[in-house]
Amino acid sequence: MNMNSRIVIILFFTLLTIIPRPVSAGEPDGAVCLKKGLKCLSDLNYRCAEKNLFEALRILKPSKDGHYRKHVIEIRLCLARMYVAMDELAKAEEQILDLLAFAPGYDIDRSVESPKVVYVFDRAMERFEKAGLNGEKQVKKRQGKKEKPESMNRKIKKIVSKGKKKGEKPTQGRNRSPGGPKGKRPAGRELQKSRNIETSIDTAVSYVQVFGKDANAVDPGFMVSIGASAKVWEGLKIGLVAYYERHGQQAVDSDMAFDVAGLLIVSSYIFEFGSIGISPVLGLGAQGMGLGKATKSYAFSGSLDLKLSYMPAKWFELFLCAGPRLVAASGSASMLLDIGLGSQFLF
**Whole-number percent of the chain with pLDDT over 70:** 68
CA nearest 129: which of 159, 173, 165? 159
As a whole number of angstroms, the distance between CA 329 and CA 16 comes to 87
The string of DSSP letters for 292-328 reads TTEEEEEEEEEEEEEEEEEEEETTEEEEEEEEEEEEE
249: phi then psi, degrees, rounded to nearest 5: -105, 130
* Angle at 300 (CA atoms; ends 297, 301), nearest 5 degrees: 120
Q: How far is CA 276 from CA 139, 194, 254, in A?
A: 51, 11, 43
pLDDT one-digit tens code per residue, 3-37: 566 665 666 656 555 544 444 444 457 788 888 88
| Across 201-227, average pLDDT | 86
As a whole number of angstroms, the distance between CA 78 and CA 92 comes to 10
Asked if 125 and 174 touch (Cβ cutoff 8 Å), the reply is no
**Axis-axis angle for helices 115-130, 68-85 (nearest 10):** 110
In one-letter notation, the amino acid at residue 346 is: L
Residue 186 confidence (pLDDT): 36
Domains in the chain, please, with CATH? 3-165 (1.25.40), 194-346 (2.40.160.20)
315: phi then psi, degrees, rounded to nearest 5: -120, 5
Query: For residue 142, what are the contacts with CB-CB under 8 A and spacing of at least 6?
Result: none
Residue 251 confidence (pLDDT): 56
pLDDT one-digit tens code per residue, 53-100: 998 888 888 887 788 888 899 999 999 999 999 988 999 999 999 999
As a whole number of angstroms, the distance between CA 322 and CA 120 comes to 41
pLDDT above 50 for 213: yes
